[in-house]
Structures are given as C-alpha cells and as structure tokens.
Amino acid sequence: MKKNLFILLIVSLFTLLLAEGLWAKVYIDIRSPSFRKFPIAISPFKAPISANEDLKLGARTTEILTNDLAISGFFALIDPRTFAENTVRGHPAGSPSGTGQIPSAPGSGIIDFRPWANVGAEALVLGEVAYKDRSLTLEARLYDVVKKELIVGKRYIGEITDLSRMVHRFADEVIFALTGEQGIFQTKIVYVSTAPGNKEIFLMDFDGRNVNQITHHQSICLSPRFSPDGKKIAFTSYKAGNPDLYIRDLRTGEERRVAHFPGLNISPTWSPDGQRLALTLSKDGNPEVYTMQLDGSQLLRLTHHPAIDVSPTWSPDGKKIAFVSNRGGSPQIYIMEANGENVQRLTFEGNYNTHPAWSSRGDRLAFDSLLDGNHNICTIQPNGSDLRILTANLNRCETPSWSPDGRHLVFSSTREGGPHIYLMDAEGTRIKRLTFQRGGDTYPNWSPRFKE
C-alpha cells in the first residue's frame, strides 16, 4: 500500500507540475504563420493636469500609440466609438503629480473589465499625461482583460518635446509583453531630400515625425546608410567637388571624409560588426566593389570584372555580399562570398534589377525591379526562388529598406508626386505615406534598434 501511495504521489506531483506549465499565457504567437489579430482597446489618454489645453496631450498620445500598434500589424484595434461611457469611467482617479510622488494606483477593483470584454478587447491600455511646471509625465498601463490583471505599467518623466519618444517607448513595452519580440517604434529613418533646394540628408522617426535636416553641404548628398549601432551614417557628398565618402556621427555632428579616391566613392554599406564598409570605387579604372576599415585603411578589392559593380549590401551573418552588376549585359543582382569569391546571379526576371537590401532575418532580399516600364519593389529568397512583386500597382517604387525586425519596408514612390517616402509591411500591404515636405524624398534607410 505504501508503495502504491508513493507512486500516486509522484504521479500527481508530476502532473501538477506539468499543469503549471499550461498556466503561462501566450498572447500573440508571432511565429505562427497566420496568427489572428489580437484585439486590443486603447482608452483615450486623459490630460487632467495640463498647463495649456491647446497642447492636446491626451489626444496626441492616443494617436501616436494607436498609430504604432496599427503599423505593427499584430492587433485588431477596437473602434473607440464602441467604447461605452462607463468603460472610460473605470479610469484611475488619482493623477500623477509629477513630483515623483506615487499616487494611489487603480486596483482591479476600480477597473471594471466587463465593458471592455464586451467590446471584444483582450487587452486594454489606460493612461494619463500631465504637464506642469515644464515637466511632462506620461503614465500608461497595459491590462489583460481576460485575467483582469496588469501586464506592464510605466511612468515617464521629461520635457514637452519628449512626448512622442515616451509613447514609442511604451509601445515597445506593449509589443515585448505580448509577443516576446523587441518593438521598432523607437527607430529612425534617414533619407535624401531636395527640400532645401539641393540634395541633403534628413532624419525622421520611423512614423514620419520629428523631421530634421542632418547635412548642410549645399552640394549633392547621396545614399546615407546607418551603422549597425545606429550612431553613425556613411554617405557620399560632392561637397569637395568629387563624389567622396563621408562618415557622420549623429550624436556629435562630427563628420570625416573617409574615402576620396579619384573617380567614384559611392554606395557605402556597413559590415554587420560595424568595423568595415563595402563601397564602390572606380580608382582602378572601373567601378568595382571594395571593402575597407572605417578609417580608409586595409582596402580590399572584391570584384575583378570589367562591368559596372555597385550597390553592395552585406548579409546579416556577414558571410555574403549582394551587389548590382551589368556583367550579364544589363543591371542585375548578384551574390558573392564576403571575400569576393563565388559570384552567383540572383535575378533573372526583367532587364533592370538594382538596390538590393538584405532583411535582418536573412531569409529575403528586397530590390528595385523595372518591369513593363515601371519600377517595383520585389522580394526574393537568397537562393533565387519565390520572387514576389510587392508594389505592382503603384507608381515608380524604388530604393527599399527593411525594418530591423524584417516585417516592414520603407521605399520611395511618385504615386502622389514627390517622390515621397512610404512604409508598408513585408507583404506589400498597409501602405502609409511618411514624408510631406516639398521637393523629392528618396533613398530611405531604416536604422537598427538603438541600444541604450
């Protein structure tokens, strides 16, 4: 009998432990090929303490957060018009004082989750913004409506100009809590714009806000590329009378000219470890792909063909480089080992395939393909299979760049004049315009996630 009881005990214990594992909730399984969109409600942020009503802090916060979560593609955002009045009343009564004093937080007894569950929400965001004595405080909380519990809550304190940054930071928290993956809402996009009258390099948030002019060369600036740590950009400029290569530190504003050989010093791209650049030089009589250290030393020539070889881009694992060559008679995309060996052609459709961009996931390249007289963004696997045309119905889509999570692309298009910079997901849907300046915006490049 004792022996049987012992066995029973062991088995029960084992079963209980197993059952315990089933308690951990998987909110959004992003690895699943067709996950359903996760229903989330964002209750409009309130701004009970605001030095100025016209700041519209609550509405702006709600808009930025809603936009971020919509772009991610993971969510079904519950229409705010369906929110019953009493759901909004279930909002914390205490307001942040902004002095570091922690107010009484809402207990689950104060928040009535049932109205939210009734509109179909499985998660809920509540929050407040306060602006007093030139200090901005944002408090935001993400709740599990089904389990009726807090998932993550944050409070941010800063200046009025930090509002979007705070919201993006919280949006990243939401993504991480629900998917386990890092969000992209604090990333940036660098691009070329003729808004000042000539081509200069501009920087903006990934969602198009906070546009800033970076260069003032009063010449021609081209092809900016973020370093893997996001701190620097490499680009070409005619400032000194020739297309030379520069590196600029975005934090300090310091610029260095790192390559000024006779002829072309163009189309820079960074190695994944950030130690080297690949670029095209024509100093030896022909545009060829070279690599070099950031200070211009250790120059290594990779291509040895009389054709034009330009636009190199490294694979995320650093082992291969894709580039454009017309060695086959027309511009096509090729892939070679990072030391220049074993050149293989990647694209065979159409007569003009340029601007390869390798996804950070390593599984696809995006590029610009001229088909039937129109430029399209296409993606393809590194082995040349599964070619997809993403922008077949849009005007002149060019120069694609991937988001750090490989789920989105930015590109330029003339569909509404410009051209302007647009955002879409990796399947070519949910296209959103990002730039609204005068002139033309081209050659966007998406930053990595910035490390603190």
Interactions with another protein, residue window 345-404 (CB under 8 A): 352, 354-355, 368, 370, 398-399
Selected binder of another protein within 32, 33, 109, 134 (CB under 8 A) = 109
| Cross-strand pairs, 397 | 413
Residue type present at position 426: A
Q: How far is the CB of 50 from another protein (least distance, A)?
A: 18
Selected binder of another protein within 52, 118, 213, 275 (CB under 8 A) = 213
Q: Which string of x and - marks every residue 156-185 that binds another protein (by CB under 8 A)?
A: xxxx-xx--xx--x----------------
Alpha carbons 357 and 322: distance in angstroms, whole number: 8
Using the minimum distance from each CB to another protein, give the nearer residue, 117 or 425. 117
Using the minimum distance from each CB to another protein, give the nearer residue, 31 or 251. 251
Considering only the stretches 46-54, 101-109, 339-347, 357-365, report the one whose residues sit in contact with another protein under the rule CB under 8 A. 101-109
Residue type present at position 186: Q
Using the minimum distance from each CB to another protein, give the nearer residue, 5 or 385. 5
Touching another protein, residues 251-270 (CB under 8 A): 251-260, 263-264, 266-267
Using the minimum distance from each CB to another protein, give the nearer residue, 155 or 345. 155
Alpha carbons 253 and 231: distance in angstroms, whole number: 10
Size of the site for another protein (CB under 8 A): 111
Residue 153 binds another protein, judged by CB under 8 A: yes
Q: Quote the tokens at residue 282.
A: 């024509």
Nearest Cα neighbor of 234 from 205, 196, 271 is: 271
Considering only the stretches 35-43, 55-63, 65-73, 250-258, report the one whose residues sit in contact with another protein under the rule CB under 8 A. 250-258
Alpha carbons 228 and 246: distance in angstroms, whole number: 16
Q: How far is the CB of 386 from another protein (least distance, A)?
A: 23
Using the minimum distance from each CB to another protein, give the nearer residue, 27 or 352. 352
Considering only the stretches 39-47, 114-122, 385-393, 432-440, report the one whose residues sit in contact with another protein under the rule CB under 8 A. 432-440
Considering only the stretches 38-46, 81-89, 116-124, 303-311, report the one whose residues sit in contact with another protein under the rule CB under 8 A. 303-311
Q: Which string of x and - marks every residue 311-330 that binds another protein (by CB under 8 A)?
A: x------------x-x---x
Alpha carbons 151 and 254: distance in angstroms, whole number: 42
Using the minimum distance from each CB to another protein, give the nearer residue, 254 or 363. 254
Using the minimum distance from each CB to another protein, give the nearer residue, 79 or 159. 159
Selected binder of another protein within 46, 199, 320, 364 (CB under 8 A) = 199
Using the minimum distance from each CB to another protein, give the nearer residue, 33 or 100. 100
Alpha carbons 171 and 67: distance in angstroms, whole number: 10
Residue 203 binds another protein, judged by CB under 8 A: yes
Using the minimum distance from each CB to another protein, give the nearer residue, 223 or 271. 223
Q: How far is the CB of 328 from another protein (least distance, A)?
A: 13
Q: Which string of x and - marks every residue 38-77 that binds another protein (by CB under 8 A)?
A: ----------------------------------------
